[in-house]
Amino acid sequence: MTTRRKNWLSTLLMLVTGVAAAEIPPAGKPAPAFSLEDQNGKQISLADFRGRWVVLYFYPKADTPGCTQEACSFRDDLAKLTKLGAQVLGVSVDDTTAQLAFAKKYSLPFPLLSDREGNVARAYGALNDLKLVRFAKRYTFLIDGEGVLRKAYEKVDTSRHSTEIIADLEQMKGT
Protein backbone atom coordinates (compact mmCIF):
# COMPACT_ATOMS: atom_id res chain seq x y z
CA MET A 1 0.00 0.00 0.00
CA THR A 2 1.37 3.40 -0.94
CA THR A 3 2.05 6.11 1.62
CA ARG A 4 -0.54 8.35 -0.02
CA ARG A 5 -3.19 5.66 0.27
CA LYS A 6 -2.28 4.98 3.92
CA ASN A 7 -2.58 8.69 4.73
CA TRP A 8 -5.95 8.87 2.97
CA LEU A 9 -7.23 5.81 4.85
CA SER A 10 -6.00 7.19 8.18
CA THR A 11 -7.78 10.48 7.54
CA LEU A 12 -10.96 8.66 6.53
CA LEU A 13 -10.82 6.49 9.65
CA MET A 14 -10.47 9.56 11.86
CA LEU A 15 -13.43 11.24 10.13
CA VAL A 16 -15.64 8.15 10.42
CA THR A 17 -14.79 7.43 14.06
CA GLY A 18 -14.80 11.06 15.16
CA VAL A 19 -11.32 10.79 16.65
CA ALA A 20 -9.56 14.06 17.23
CA ALA A 21 -6.01 14.24 18.45
CA ALA A 22 -5.82 15.79 21.91
CA GLU A 23 -2.95 18.16 22.46
CA ILE A 24 -0.06 17.47 24.76
CA PRO A 25 0.04 19.95 27.65
CA PRO A 26 2.79 22.54 27.18
CA ALA A 27 6.04 22.40 29.12
CA GLY A 28 6.28 25.04 31.83
CA LYS A 29 2.59 24.77 32.74
CA PRO A 30 0.98 22.75 35.56
CA ALA A 31 0.59 19.08 34.67
CA PRO A 32 -3.01 17.84 34.56
CA ALA A 33 -4.05 16.57 37.99
CA PHE A 34 -5.22 12.98 38.30
CA SER A 35 -6.19 10.26 40.72
CA LEU A 36 -6.19 6.62 39.59
CA GLU A 37 -6.20 3.18 41.16
CA ASP A 38 -2.91 1.26 41.11
CA GLN A 39 -2.36 -2.48 40.72
CA ASN A 40 -2.98 -2.99 44.45
CA GLY A 41 -6.25 -1.06 44.57
CA LYS A 42 -4.71 2.06 46.14
CA GLN A 43 -5.74 5.51 44.89
CA ILE A 44 -2.70 7.41 43.63
CA SER A 45 -2.77 11.08 42.68
CA LEU A 46 -0.19 13.42 41.24
CA ALA A 47 -0.53 15.56 44.38
CA ASP A 48 0.77 12.62 46.46
CA PHE A 49 4.23 13.33 45.05
CA ARG A 50 4.46 17.05 45.74
CA GLY A 51 8.13 17.82 46.36
CA ARG A 52 9.31 14.92 44.17
CA TRP A 53 9.84 14.65 40.45
CA VAL A 54 7.46 12.28 38.66
CA VAL A 55 8.23 10.17 35.61
CA LEU A 56 4.71 9.59 34.27
CA TYR A 57 4.88 7.09 31.45
CA PHE A 58 1.97 5.86 29.37
CA TYR A 59 2.12 2.51 27.62
CA PRO A 60 -0.29 0.75 25.24
CA LYS A 61 -0.81 -2.64 26.91
CA ALA A 62 0.57 -4.53 29.89
CA ASP A 63 2.78 -7.54 29.21
CA THR A 64 3.46 -6.86 25.54
CA PRO A 65 7.03 -6.77 24.19
CA GLY A 66 7.67 -3.01 23.95
CA CYS A 67 5.78 -2.24 27.15
CA THR A 68 7.66 -4.96 29.00
CA GLN A 69 11.03 -3.69 27.77
CA GLU A 70 10.20 -0.14 28.84
CA ALA A 71 8.85 -1.16 32.27
CA CYS A 72 11.84 -3.42 32.96
CA SER A 73 14.29 -0.66 32.03
CA PHE A 74 12.57 1.66 34.52
CA ARG A 75 12.73 -1.17 37.09
CA ASP A 76 16.43 -1.73 36.42
CA ASP A 77 17.23 2.00 36.69
CA LEU A 78 14.89 2.69 39.61
CA ALA A 79 17.73 3.19 42.14
CA LYS A 80 19.24 5.94 39.96
CA LEU A 81 15.85 7.57 39.44
CA THR A 82 15.07 7.42 43.16
CA LYS A 83 18.46 8.95 43.99
CA LEU A 84 17.50 11.83 41.70
CA GLY A 85 14.29 12.29 43.69
CA ALA A 86 11.96 10.86 41.05
CA GLN A 87 8.94 8.59 41.36
CA VAL A 88 8.04 6.37 38.40
CA LEU A 89 4.33 5.91 37.59
CA GLY A 90 3.17 3.74 34.70
CA VAL A 91 -0.29 4.26 33.16
CA SER A 92 -2.34 2.24 30.68
CA VAL A 93 -6.02 1.58 30.05
CA ASP A 94 -5.61 -1.97 31.38
CA ASP A 95 -7.64 -2.94 34.44
CA THR A 96 -6.04 -3.38 37.86
CA THR A 97 -5.99 -7.18 37.47
CA ALA A 98 -3.86 -6.92 34.32
CA GLN A 99 -1.63 -4.30 35.99
CA LEU A 100 -1.11 -6.55 39.02
CA ALA A 101 -0.25 -9.58 36.87
CA PHE A 102 2.21 -7.45 34.86
CA ALA A 103 3.84 -6.04 38.01
CA LYS A 104 4.18 -9.48 39.60
CA LYS A 105 5.47 -11.23 36.47
CA TYR A 106 8.31 -8.72 36.00
CA SER A 107 8.83 -7.64 39.65
CA LEU A 108 7.91 -4.04 38.89
CA PRO A 109 8.30 -2.12 42.18
CA PHE A 110 6.48 1.07 41.17
CA PRO A 111 2.77 1.87 40.77
CA LEU A 112 1.01 0.85 37.56
CA LEU A 113 -2.14 2.91 37.27
CA SER A 114 -5.37 1.80 35.65
CA ASP A 115 -6.91 4.48 33.42
CA ARG A 116 -9.86 2.35 32.21
CA GLU A 117 -11.81 5.24 30.71
CA GLY A 118 -8.70 6.89 29.26
CA ASN A 119 -9.43 10.23 30.90
CA VAL A 120 -5.91 10.81 32.21
CA ALA A 121 -4.29 9.67 28.96
CA ARG A 122 -6.66 12.02 27.11
CA ALA A 123 -5.71 14.94 29.39
CA TYR A 124 -2.06 14.34 28.50
CA GLY A 125 -2.74 13.94 24.77
CA ALA A 126 -1.69 10.30 25.08
CA LEU A 127 -4.87 8.44 24.12
CA ASN A 128 -5.67 6.53 20.95
CA ASP A 129 -9.44 6.19 21.06
CA LEU A 130 -10.82 4.45 18.00
CA LYS A 131 -14.27 3.83 19.54
CA LEU A 132 -13.91 0.04 19.39
CA VAL A 133 -10.32 0.04 20.60
CA ARG A 134 -8.74 2.36 23.16
CA PHE A 135 -5.11 2.38 24.23
CA ALA A 136 -2.49 4.79 25.50
CA LYS A 137 0.23 6.13 23.25
CA ARG A 138 3.79 5.46 24.38
CA TYR A 139 4.43 8.93 25.80
CA THR A 140 6.32 10.00 28.91
CA PHE A 141 6.08 13.19 30.93
CA LEU A 142 8.67 14.57 33.34
CA ILE A 143 6.95 16.58 36.08
CA ASP A 144 8.84 18.56 38.72
CA GLY A 145 8.14 18.65 42.46
CA GLU A 146 5.83 21.65 42.08
CA GLY A 147 3.62 19.76 39.62
CA VAL A 148 4.90 21.60 36.56
CA LEU A 149 5.37 19.67 33.32
CA ARG A 150 9.03 20.02 32.37
CA LYS A 151 9.33 17.74 29.35
CA ALA A 152 7.15 15.54 27.15
CA TYR A 153 8.57 12.57 25.25
CA GLU A 154 6.52 11.63 22.19
CA LYS A 155 9.11 9.45 20.50
CA VAL A 156 10.24 6.76 22.89
CA ASP A 157 12.92 4.15 22.26
CA THR A 158 12.01 1.53 24.86
CA SER A 159 15.55 0.12 24.92
CA ARG A 160 17.12 3.36 26.17
CA HIS A 161 14.27 5.51 27.46
CA SER A 162 15.09 5.23 31.17
CA THR A 163 18.69 6.36 30.56
CA GLU A 164 17.36 9.32 28.55
CA ILE A 165 15.11 10.28 31.49
CA ILE A 166 18.05 9.97 33.92
CA ALA A 167 20.24 12.21 31.75
CA ASP A 168 17.49 14.82 31.47
CA LEU A 169 16.80 14.74 35.21
CA GLU A 170 20.51 15.20 35.96
CA GLN A 171 20.66 18.16 33.58
CA MET A 172 17.48 19.79 34.89
CA LYS A 173 18.54 19.35 38.50
CA GLY A 174 22.13 20.42 37.83
CA THR A 175 23.68 17.21 39.18
Angle at 51 between CA 49 and CA 55, to 5 degrees: 55
Phi-psi region of 152 (alpha: psi -120 to 50; beta: other; left: phi over 0): beta
Q: Is 67 a catalytic residue?
A: yes
The active-site residue, picked from 44, 46, 67, 152, is 67
**Do strands 53-58 and 86-92 pair parallel, antiparallel, or not at all (unpaired)?**
parallel
Q: DSSP strand E in the chain: where?
A: 35-38, 43-45, 53-58, 86-92, 112-114, 127-129, 134-136, 140-143, 149-153
Enzyme catalytic residues: 67
